[in-house]
A and B are shown apart, each in its own frame.
Chain A
Amino acid sequence: MNMLSEAAVEKALDKKMNEVAYKMIGKDVSVYYGEKRALFDVNLNVRENTVTALIGPSGCGKSTFLRTLNRMNDTIEGCRVTGKITLDEDDIYDKEIDVVELRARVGMVFQKPNPFPKSIYENIAYGPRIHGLARNKADMDQIVEASLQRAGLWAEVKDRLHEGGTGLSGGQQQRLCIARAVAVSPEVILMDEPCSALDPIATAKVEELIHELRANYTIVIVTHSMQQAARVSQRTAMFHLGQLVEENDTDKMFTNPDDQRTQDYIMGRFG
């Protein structure tokens, strides 16, 4: 067993606490789907304005962990989460916390581009509208433009804002979804394999975008591509069989990981 001991984790955390700000802190997070346990006491912290990549073989629980961060697991019948996850100082599983409020702070981008079958403008405007972020049409126009610019899509779509969002190419759709997530001014953006349905050129654009978004947002990304994790992230966490194997600086992870299993996975020996 190469698991870090509890004490060692605490010590390491204390040391890092002095240098870095944690946006989200997960402590002893376990997830059950009915009888089946999918996550085993995961302790993982997400640093502010950092891209954290979650890697691991299929079914290892990385997507499950990602979805606990904005309580998307709530929508799955029979799903139960134990442990504690905080966003800044707030326990997000506290009864006082409004899940709608939480998801406005922790946005999400999904594996398959899933724009609403409405116009590009409406896709972006929907979130700000239900959260009351715009007082009038001019405000909304501004939010839409700013969000599309952040997602690097403005130049491509500014002349057809009122055409359907589903008419865009796959890569454009995914950037539209990122713009939609950005439009509600979240603090954290979760991305669940955002490039797995895209071609290499679209992937490159999205990766570039993730890189730029880091300045303003904290990003957690699940990916199956080692290269992608290496390219876009500063921190990487490796999951295996529902457990967190290792969490480290990306550079160290890919050159000299602490755990043998990480090494094996990155080298492609399993998974």
Chain B
Amino acid sequence: MTDVVSFPAGASAKPARRDIGIKRRYAAERRFRAYGIAALSFGILFLFILLYSVVSKGYTAFQQTMITVPVEFSEQIIDKDNERATDPQKLVTANYPLIARNAVAKVLGVAETDRSGLRAVNQMISDGVRGQLRDMVVANPQIIGTTQTVSLLAAGDIDSAFKGQIDLSVSENNRKVSDQQVGWMNQLAESGALGKHFNTGIFVNGNSSRPEAAGVGVALIGSFYMMLIVLVLSLPIGVAASIYLEEFAPKNKFTDLIEVNINNLAAVPSIVYGLLGLAVFINFMGLPRSASLVGGLVLTLMTLPTIIIATRAALKAVPPSIRAAALGLGASKMQTIFHHVLPLAMPGILTGTIIGLAHALGETAPLLLIGMVAFVANYPTTPMDPSTALPVQIYMWANEAERAFVERTSGAIIILLLFLVVMNVGAILLRRRFERRW
């Protein structure tokens, strides 16, 4: 250490500084910030456009036009020969739309002999009234022969016209509602008989080819079953697999291969999982088509890599000092993991799981392949029954031609988005609840 390297010449005085471009450095930083803000604004703008377009088109779907009139449950029409005591089918198969038509025609003053007028009146009422009135009569046969005030579902076209979604300036021949019907509609609206009510049907009804009677009830139940199956299967399997891989498995070529494959599986297009489900669960194992059980299994496969990756990251993030502390006290490896590591990793695991579930909830492509893109009007009672799912329902409605389906498609999207928001808020709350500092 005798050779002392001296500073370059002039070092004894204050060294002259080379120009390192301080101004340029600050400019670069400002530019970078501007890029960031621009990117962010762009994203927020598109989010806003998306929400605006969906909400502005969809909010009307939560209102339904109804015609409230006194309906005479005429014994003459329902059960002419008084056979209902012996033949229960009588009440089920009676001509209820006729009762509804007569009720509205009476209010509008259309003569019973005016056949074309009666047909026009009939077109203003949804065919859904058949079920509506039938359910009333079957539940309480005593109302036969009496007159009750009933809110009848208006037909989809009247619903659209009343919400101003049909352009009435178009020539009468080129639109779904006639001038006569529009006149009646306005007449009924003025007398207060026709008006918009909250549309509970969109939440509880099954699918229907008549937009005014169509709802996401079946899809909600299908999605609920699938989420339940995904949660029950993928959380324990995923967490167990992660714990084994992270804590117990030896680090060798084989486990490396598994790790690479798990990461790849998370990126496999979801439609491939649909093909897998079709081949394995339906063709090989013989499970029924369109069943939410199969959908749940397929989505489980799809969600597993996400959960495993999130869980492993959460386990890795637990400080080694906590493991050392537990091991140093004489806890076994299993005790260390289950008493200390897992509780600390819980927020990460739960967040990953909920994000995985939210992803699965919005997944459409694999469900198309296993036959969940089906017209299902009846509630599935078990996961083995045919069902559909929320995103698939949206996909199906988006293909329908009627104007009233446009708002229902957006309405269903709003429902789906609400569920996703609820799940993500749940994830954040769980994270806050379980988060511990160390």
Contact = CB atoms under 8 A, between A and B. Distances in A.
Interface in B130-166: none
Given A126-B339, A166-B438, A108 B328 contact: yes
Contact of A184 (B251, B323, B327, B329): B329
Interface stretch (B176-184, B330-338, B379-387): B330-338
A131 interface: yes
B335 A117 contact: no
Contact of A103 (B319, B329, B340, B436): B329
Contacts of A107: 328-329
Given A100-B332, A130-B335, A166-B438, A72 B322 contact: no
A180 B329 contact: yes
A38 to B, nearest CB: 18
A101 interface: yes
Given A117-B344, A117-B438, A127 B329 contact: yes
Interface in A68-103: 70, 72, 75, 77, 100-103
Contacts of A103: 327-330
A191 to B, nearest CB: 11
B328 A116 contact: no
Contacts of B328: 70, 72, 103, 107-108, 110, 181
B327 A72 contact: yes
Contacts of B251: 77
Contact of B330 (A75, A101, A114): A101
B321 interface: yes
B64 to A, nearest CB: 53
Nearest to A109: B328
B192 to A, nearest CB: 64
Interface string A117-160: 10000000011001100000000000000000000000000000
Contacts of A177: 325
B437 interface: yes
Contacts of A108: 324, 328
A75 B330 CA distance: 12
Contacts, number: 65
Given A77-B251, A117-B438, A126-B339, A100 B330 contact: yes
B59 to A, nearest CB: 46
A117 B346 CA distance: 13
B330 A116 contact: no
A117 B438 CA distance: 6
Interface in B397-438: 436-438
Contacts of B325: 110, 114-116, 177, 180
Contact of B324 (A102, A104, A114, A126): A114
A112 interface: yes
Nearest to A75: B327
A181 B344 CA distance: 21
A131 B438 contact: no
B438 A184 contact: no
Contacts of A117: 322, 344, 436-438
Contacts of B438: 117, 166
Considering residues B327, B328, B340, which has the most beta carbons from chain A within 10 angstroms of its beta carbon? B328
Interface string A3-34: 00000000000000000000000000000000
A13 B321 CA distance: 37
Nearest to B335: A130
Given A77-B251, A166-B438, A126 B329 contact: yes
A184 B330 contact: yes
Contacts of B330: 100-104, 127, 130-131, 184
A116 B335 contact: no
Contacts of B436: 117, 166
A104 B328 CA distance: 8
Given A77-B251, A166-B437, A116 B331 contact: no
B106 to A, nearest CB: 74
Nearest to B251: A77
Considering residues B251, B324, B332, B340, which has the most beta carbons from chain A within 10 angstroms of its beta carbon? B324
A117 B326 CA distance: 12
28 contacts: A70-B328, A72-B324, A75-B324, A75-B327, A100-B332, A101-B330, A103-B327, A107-B329, A108-B328, A110-B324, A110-B328, A112-B321, A114-B319, A114-B321, A116-B322, A116-B325, A117-B322, A117-B437, A117-B438, A127-B330, A130-B330, A131-B330, A166-B437, A166-B438, A177-B325, A181-B329, A184-B329, A184-B330
Interface of B: 251, 319, 321-332, 335, 339-340, 344, 436-438
Given A110-B321, A116-B325, A116-B326, 13 more contacts: A75-B327, A100-B332, A103-B327, A103-B328, A107-B328, A107-B329, A108-B328, A116-B340, A126-B326, A130-B331, A131-B330, A166-B437, A166-B438
Nearest 6 A/B pairs, CB to CB: A114-B321, A108-B328, A103-B330, A104-B330, A127-B329, A117-B436
